[in-house]
Amino acid sequence: MRKRSFVFIILASVLWGTSGIFVHYLAPLGFSSLQMSSVRGTVAAVCFAIYILIKDRKLFSVSFKDLAVIALSGIAMYGCGTCYYASMQMTSVSTAVMLMYTAPVIVMTFSVIFLGEKLTKIKLISLIAMIFGCGFITGVIGGLKFNPAGILVGLLSGVSYSTYIIITRIEMQKKINAVTAVFYCFLFMTILALIAAPPAPIFETALKEPLKAFPLMIGVGICTSILPYLFYTLSLKHIPAGTAASLAVLEPMAATLFSVMLLGEKLSLSSVCGIILILGAVLLLSKTND
């Protein structure tokens, strides 16, 4: 199951890496970042609800105590996305990505203190390699754009992401069903997102070019929300939160490769160095049993 969990995290990271592709096509149609977040959450919540209705309605059942824990993960997920997009607007995409991926450091620290996980030399070396790899890929090394407010918001996205990971790890330790946990997480996240970006303007935007908009809206919900978060949640049953957070740094690498293959962007020497560092760190982490 441990090897399968590593595969799940890799799949989740690759799927999250497709976000840039959807943004590339949705933004010209008139969708704002907040509206995209609302679409992602709504599609995910609706699809999970339909699945549960067909598969097993007992999956809707959850204790109030567990629901409160899941609600926190939904709030954290919303906070992460909102701060991440805001940081992009206030600094730069590469700076925002790098700041959000301070999360592995935060998660590993909290996991050692509160979840009793071990901090081994392999984990530490892998973490450092991944941070530098992410820096090379995003171009932050040598080119960080400083904006005090933007940096603070970016760090908040990392804290929110860390909180989501740690809470989800706790959910899995409490033996909450993964589908149940992800459904309610998206439900709470969607409620917050729809308050910030009401559905009426979203539909007005989509109806301008429905043949393009609706397939992309469904695609962004499935590819960047439903599948990756389900894979990631399942992986946390068997892999420590710190390790899982570190492996998620594969996302910017995947995003870079997708942009080269599908959007025609050029692969720089810096990106190649980053990819090598991250892949090396992943291989190193896969050999540890802690």
Tracing tokens 């954290």 back to the chain, one arrives at: 76
Q: What residue segments make up the domains of the chain, in order of their start?
A: 2-285
Encoded amino acid at 186, one letter: F
% of the chain exceeding 90 in pLDDT: 29
Q: At what angle do helices 121-138 and 250-262 cross, to 10 degrees?
A: 30
Q: Are 246 and 130 in contact (CB under 8 A)?
A: yes
Helix, strand, or coil here: 95? helix
| Gap between the Cα atoms of 280 and 146, Å rounded | 30
Q: Name the least confident of 102-111, 139-148, 234-243.
A: 139-148
Token pair listed for 208: 């301008």
107-134 core/surface letters (b: 16 or more CB in 10 A; e: else):
bbebbeeeeebebeebbeebbebbbbbb
pLDDT of residue 213 exceeding 80, the answer is: yes
Token pair listed for 103: 């999360």
Q: Which pLDDT band holds residue 282 (cuts at 50, 70, 90)? A: confident
Q: Which pLDDT band holds residue 70 (cuts at 50, 70, 90)? A: very high
What pLDDT, on the 0 to 100 scale, is given for residue 102? 72
What pLDDT, on the 0 to 100 scale, is given for residue 121? 82
Q: Which pLDDT band holds residue 145 (cuts at 50, 70, 90)? A: low
What pLDDT, on the 0 to 100 scale, is given for residue 1? 64
What pLDDT, on the 0 to 100 scale, is given for residue 287? 64
Average pLDDT (40-61) is: 93
What pLDDT, on the 0 to 100 scale, is given for residue 45? 93
Average pLDDT (36-58) is: 92
| Gap between the Cα atoms of 104 and 249, Å rounded | 8
Token pair listed for 172: 């899995």
Helix, strand, or coil here: 116? coil
What pLDDT, on the 0 to 100 scale, is given for residue 125? 85
Please state, rounded to an integer, the average pLDDT across all residues of the chain: 83
Q: What are the distances in angstroms from CA 280 to CA 132, 160, 252?
A: 12, 27, 15
- ∠ CA 91-96-97, nearest 5°, is 150
Q: Alpha helix (H) ranges present in the chain?
A: 2-16, 19-26, 33-55, 64-90, 93-100, 103-114, 121-138, 148-173, 178-196, 199-206, 210-221, 227-235, 241-247, 250-262, 269-285
pLDDT of residue 271 exceeding 90, the answer is: no
What pLDDT, on the 0 to 100 scale, is given for residue 189? 93
Report pTM.
0.80
From the CB of residue 60, how many other CB atoms can be counted at a distance below 10 Å?
12
Tracing tokens 């997920």 back to the chain, one arrives at: 77
Encoded amino acid at 263, one letter: L
Q: Which pLDDT band holds residue 146 (cuts at 50, 70, 90)? A: low
Q: Which helix (H) or strand (E) holds 236?
A: none
- What DSSP character marks residue 197? S
Token pair listed for 140: 């932050």
What pLDDT, on the 0 to 100 scale, is given for residue 83? 86
| Gap between the Cα atoms of 273 and 135, Å rounded | 10
**Model confidence over 167-190: pLDDT tens digits?**
988 888 888 898 999 999 999 999
What pLDDT, on the 0 to 100 scale, is given for residue 141? 60
What pLDDT, on the 0 to 100 scale, is given for residue 29? 93
% of the chain exceeding 70 in pLDDT: 92
Q: Are 290 and 116 in contact (CB under 8 A)?
A: no
**C-alpha closest to that of 94 among 273, 271, 282, 286:** 271
Contacts of 260 (CB under 8 A, 6+ apart): 266, 267
pLDDT of residue 144 exceeding 60, the answer is: no
pLDDT of residue 90 exceeding 70, the answer is: yes
